[in-house]
Structure 1
């Protein structure tokens, strides 16, 4: 239905997208957006800002998703009001951000994000922008972007055409400055402006292009795609904490498997996971299967509304790196257990230089790894003790993942599957069978000597 409605739009879809200084204003009769589909709180924010004399629109992903008949996860507002003016208008508003200052308006658990129209960051000849408002690194990356501007300027500095659509909930009009509806209809991801310059301003835009392409099942327009491989190294300048957040959006939104393929295709996986990428290149078949299977499993759990944790996914993503470190430790003659501990620490430390993994995820990740060799030691009471371990289920799932990727474990996963469902007597029998099949010689029981009686000790 959405495509039929889009076909009514009053411009030819064949021409390439371009910037406009004045928008194409599309009336409500010629698009499918309806205010009833938008959060009441977001509508309230727009109405109150307009009543206070400011311009205000729904913008970005929520408009794009509604045009594609997808339910938005959140609703963003763009306005001519400064963050301080937004806070003065709403008692329930808080200001956040330094690099990009915003207002959050709170309605219980729902947060409406309100951004002030931004202008171009300017340059050395732009006397209107100060160091406090806008700063760039030597490579062209924007370090701060708080130069406020008009609606037209805000549209021109947005990243993708499909995110530069402004919907006025009061009039019902849709404002399109960059042929965004053209690209929505043609399923294309297209940057606004010169791609190389826009990526240099913010290299994370390369990751966003990948994320939107996977999420929406869109193609990246050729001019937008062309510079990505050559500029991939710019991601090395992005703060590790920001990259961690971007990876979660990339790989834990339900399209992780498709995203991984695109990251590989455009040379963006290696800057995010350099040691893993190097290990995969040494053993591509096995480790690529493991990563694909882990991401496929995560996507499936998300589709089934089951809980997912970054700890398990990062355990899989860094497993090739940890195994490479382990082999180096063993080659140096380090005993197995210390070698495993040192390899895990080294793999995590090196990865945290690229993506700052919080301890709430890195600690359970280490436990999943540490339990892998313990799953092999099942004699005595060890098997029952492992079943009671809080990370047992994650470690067991990780074992099955390794086997699905082709790793040989001599039926260890199948054994643990049976053991969990067995009765106490069946479990004891399984342990006895392990003892009987063990190559280790039986330990001789030491004969205890009877203590001599007191009478024997007396002469």
Structure 2
């Protein structure tokens, strides 16, 4: 059944059940409701439940203001300055975030001219300020219905990623929304609305106006998502990758840049397998894996013969658009150098040097070595089963020990004559 914008979908006509909602989230929803407030489950939690996925977290929106929410829940605190929300604490370190309906996004340009108490709004206004239609649905705990003010249900049914409002305006106000379009397209497998796709290609250069640290953190979410292969394929196709990393595009000619897709898909496909399997990997690991396909293209020498100075210079120039602590940068460089040296030594059938064995990054570098050399899927499944990376390196061949005994000296006999 198709529903137009402004629809209220009753419980019998949608797949979301309270049995799939976290118990503590239900406690917060019901307490707000019993206190006479609107209490809605909002955002990605509804999207995931509709698609049959288990949400990582649940967010709640209400008409109660932060101070009112704080009085209702003693186990809570208010965070944020202009856009305040309330964190409600439960046992085990669990946190349920509750926000008041807002009239605007914190990244809209007009917000800077508004006083904090003028940012609260109605459910309709709150839906309109969200980024995507499939993230702008509300689940009403009062009657278990779904409220859809932007046509999100129809887009879920049709498999469309659509921006709330005109994409060109929304992207100019907050260019990071372009990354979120690609993110949800890769995670859901939905098609991107042609209007939004065209706007991304037209305004992709605006991503450079965003805070470098914010863009870096957004990309890290996609590295860890389990869908980074599809995400970076969309990044390449849309031109956003080149917009964020201009040095990579400049040092890689057009034909080679477009030809990176097979290599990136192979590398990130394996990383997705490891991530979905629950293997814990460092941030430096992901950035190292990201840079390797580009570094292979721009160097004259084979990857296993690249000098450490060349690696350091390339990392500095490539990651300069993003804010990296010096320590994190050095971790990436060390992993790249170690992978290169592993490929040189293991590829030649030699033993791994003692210096490499002492490096703390050896386990992740050893894993990257096997990703680059195309190890079997069973190899990576065994690592997932162990939930740890333990390098297996060639041992020094045993040597035959010489029998040590008393050394005999033969003196030349001297004639007594």
Q: How many residues align?
A: 375
Question: Aligned with 1:265: secondary structure?
Answer: helix
Instruction: Kindly provide the CA deviation profile for residues 90-138 of structure 1, in whole angstroms up to 9, marking residues without a partner as x.
Output: 222233334643222222322212121111479xxx9xx773548xxxx
Query: Residue 324 of structure 2: which of 347, 357, 360 is its match?
Result: 357
Mapped to 2, the partners of 1:92 and 1:359 lie a distance apart of: 39
2:237 corresponding residue in structure 1 = 265
2:18 corresponding residue in structure 1 = 35
Instruction: Kindly provide the CA deviation profile for residues 374-401 of structure 1, in whole angstroms up to 9, marking residues without a partner as x.
Output: 4446999962442343222322333344
Mapped to 2, the partners of 1:65 and 1:133 lie a distance apart of: 34
2:372 corresponds to 1:425: no
Mapped to 2, the partners of 1:392 and 1:242 lie a distance apart of: 29
**Does the CA-based 8 Å contact 1:102-1:116 persist in structure 2?**
yes
Mapped to 2, the partners of 1:245 and 1:162 lie a distance apart of: 23
- Of the structure 1 ranges 384-393 and 78-87, higher mean CA displacement relative to structure 2 is found in 384-393
1:188 corresponding residue in structure 2 = 160
User: How many Å apart are 1:310 and its aligned residue?
Assistant: 2.4
Question: Aligned with 1:425: secondary structure?
Answer: coil
- List runs of 5+ in structure 2 lacking aligned partners: 376-390, 401-417
2:201 corresponds to 1:229: yes
2:113 corresponds to 1:131: yes
**Does the CA-based 8 Å contact 2:252-2:298 persist in structure 1?**
no
**Compared with structure 1, are the counterparts of its residues 224 and 420 closer, same or farther at alpha carbon in structure 2 (3 Å cutoff)?**
closer
Query: Residue 239 of structure 1: which of 208, 211, 216 is its match?
Result: 211
Instruction: Kindly provide the CA deviation profile for residues 144-191 of structure 1, in whole angstroms up to 9, marking residues without a partner as x.
Output: x97111111111221211111110123211111112111110011111
Q: How does 1:310-349 map to 2 (within 5 A)?
A: 310-319=283-292, 340-349=307-316
2:122 corresponds to 1:150: yes
**Compared with structure 1, are the counterparts of its residues 360 and 254 closer, same or farther at alpha carbon in structure 2 (3 Å cutoff)?**
farther
Query: Residue 178 of structure 1: which of 145, 150, 164 is its match?
Result: 150
Q: How does 1:379-398 map to 2 (within 5 A)?
A: 383-398=353-368
Q: How does 1:3-152 map to 2 (within 5 A)?
A: 7=1, 11=3, 23-98=6-81, 100-107=83-90, 108-120=92-104, 131=113, 133=115, 147-152=119-124
Instruction: Kindly provide the CA deviation profile for residues 49-95 of structure 1, in whole angstroms up to 9, marking residues without a partner as x.
Output: 22333222001110111111111110000111223332232222233
User: How many Å apart are 1:313 and its aligned residue?
Assistant: 1.9
Query: Residue 296 of structure 1: which of 250, 269, 274 is its match?
Result: 269
**Does the CA-based 8 Å contact 1:294-1:313 persist in structure 2?**
no
Mapped to 1, the partners of 2:278 and 2:228 lie a distance apart of: 15
Mapped to 2, the partners of 1:146 and 1:355 lie a distance apart of: 33
User: How many Å apart are 1:346 and its aligned residue?
Assistant: 3.4
Question: Aligned with 1:33: secondary structure?
Answer: coil
**Compared with structure 1, are the counterparts of its residues 400 and 285 closer, same or farther at alpha carbon in structure 2 (3 Å cutoff)?**
farther
- List runs of 5+ in structure 1 lacking aligned partners: 1-6, 12-16, 135-144, 331-335, 406-418, 430-459
Mapped to 1, the partners of 2:285 and 2:214 lie a distance apart of: 20
User: How many Å apart are 1:198 and its aligned residue?
Assistant: 1.0
TM-score, structure 2 normalization? 0.79
Instruction: Kindly provide the CA deviation profile for residues 301-355 of structure 1, in whole angstroms up to 9, marking residues without a partner as x.
Output: 023222233212211322366578877xx9xxxxx99x94444443343444422
User: How many Å apart are 1:238 and its aligned residue?
Assistant: 0.8
**Compared with structure 1, are the counterparts of its residues 322 and 381 closer, same or farther at alpha carbon in structure 2 (3 Å cutoff)?**
closer
Query: Residue 200 of structure 1: which of 139, 147, 172 is its match?
Result: 172
**Does the CA-based 8 Å contact 2:204-2:239 persist in structure 1?**
yes
Mapped to 1, the partners of 2:135 and 2:40 lie a distance apart of: 13
User: How many Å apart are 1:47 and its aligned residue?
Assistant: 1.5
Give the CA RMSD over aligned residues: 3.3
Instruction: Kindly provide the CA deviation profile for residues 407-426 of structure 1, in whole angstroms up to 9, marking residues without a partner as x.
Output: xxxxxxxxxxxx94555435
Question: Aligned with 2:78: secondary structure?
Answer: strand
Mapped to 1, the partners of 2:105 and 2:216 lie a distance apart of: 26
Question: Aligned with 2:71: secondary structure?
Answer: helix
Mapped to 2, the partners of 1:226 and 1:422 lie a distance apart of: 52
Question: Aligned with 1:226: secondary structure?
Answer: helix
Question: Aligned with 2:332: secondary structure?
Answer: helix
**Does the CA-based 8 Å contact 1:187-1:219 persist in structure 2?**
yes
Question: Aligned with 1:227: secondary structure?
Answer: helix
Question: Aligned with 2:147: secondary structure?
Answer: strand
**Compared with structure 1, are the counterparts of its residues 121 and 249 closer, same or farther at alpha carbon in structure 2 (3 Å cutoff)?**
closer
Mapped to 1, the partners of 2:273 and 2:350 lie a distance apart of: 37
